[in-house]
Amino acid sequence: MTDITELKRQLEEKTKLKTEVLKELKAIGLEIKNLDKAIAQKLPKEKNQIPNPEIIKKKIEKIEFYISTAAYTPSKEKEMIRKIEELKKEYEQSLKNSDIWNEINQLKTKLKEKLNQRKEIRKKLRQILDELNRIYKEIIELSSKKTPQPKSKKQKQAYPQKDIKKPQPKKETEEYSLTLEDIIKMNQKE
């Protein structure tokens, strides 16, 4: 069993560590927010305004795969070849804007890294909070063993004070004491 002063020192250290981790978490949260804004600004406002060359290239490869693996009618195959030619023209035009998409992809990878960092920091914070909770419980347990607990209100009320006078039973010969039977008899006479 450790001393209360040692536990309090540990509590202070863990609290300082917690504040540092929270500051770090806030900083990463701000970076994530800024990366989201940067990505949103770089993305085209309309979906087809600046086509992504990677997506176009995947479409071309997909159609070429279908042509090479499946047996189509000559008219259907010609139609697919025309579609490939159109996509290749789009691909060449989109390569002019590939810098924007490369930037966006770089920002997205940075964003993923920051999200993973935030996840790790949250795990670290959870461990610190669990440790703080454990230390705090130990301090309470040790301090309750050293000093007796003050009586609660319920315990105080369970034992009446000596100053309180108990009500004395009424004497039967008292002038004004009427029973219920006396009142009924009086009402019947009237």
Tens digit of each residue's pLDDT, the chain (190 residues)? 468 888 889 889 999 999 999 999 999 999 999 998 888 887 766 555 667 778 888 999 998 888 888 888 889 888 989 998 999 888 888 777 777 778 888 889 999 999 999 999 999 999 999 999 998 888 888 888 776 555 666 555 555 555 555 556 555 555 556 677 777 777 777 6
Per the domain annotation, does 68 fall within a domain? yes
Per the domain annotation, does 59 fall within a domain? yes
Q: Using an 8 Å Cβ cutoff, are 121 and 25 in contact?
A: yes
**How many structural domains is the chain composed of?**
1
Per the domain annotation, does 188 fall within a domain? no
pTM beyond 0.85: no
Task: Tell me the residue range of the domain where 18 lies.
Answer: 4-151
Q: Using an 8 Å Cβ cutoff, are 25 and 118 in contact?
A: yes
Per the domain annotation, does 47 fall within a domain? yes
What pLDDT is recorded for position 49?
65
Per the domain annotation, does 185 fall within a domain? no
What pLDDT is recorded for position 125?
92
Nearest Cα to Cα of residue 50 among 102, 85, 107: 102
Number of helices (H), then strands (E), in the chain = 6, 0
Q: How many CB atoms lie within 10 A of CB 89?
A: 11
Per the domain annotation, does 172 fall within a domain? no
Per the domain annotation, does 156 fall within a domain? no
Per the domain annotation, does 120 fall within a domain? yes
Indicate the burial class of 124 (C-beta count within 10 angstroms; 0-12, 13-18, 19 or more). Answer: middle
What pLDDT is recorded for position 42?
79
What pLDDT is recorded for position 3?
82
Return the biggest CA–CA distance within the chain: 126
What pLDDT is recorded for position 4?
82
What pLDDT is recorded for position 18?
92
CA dist., res. 187 & res. 190, Å (int): 5
What pLDDT is recorded for position 45?
66
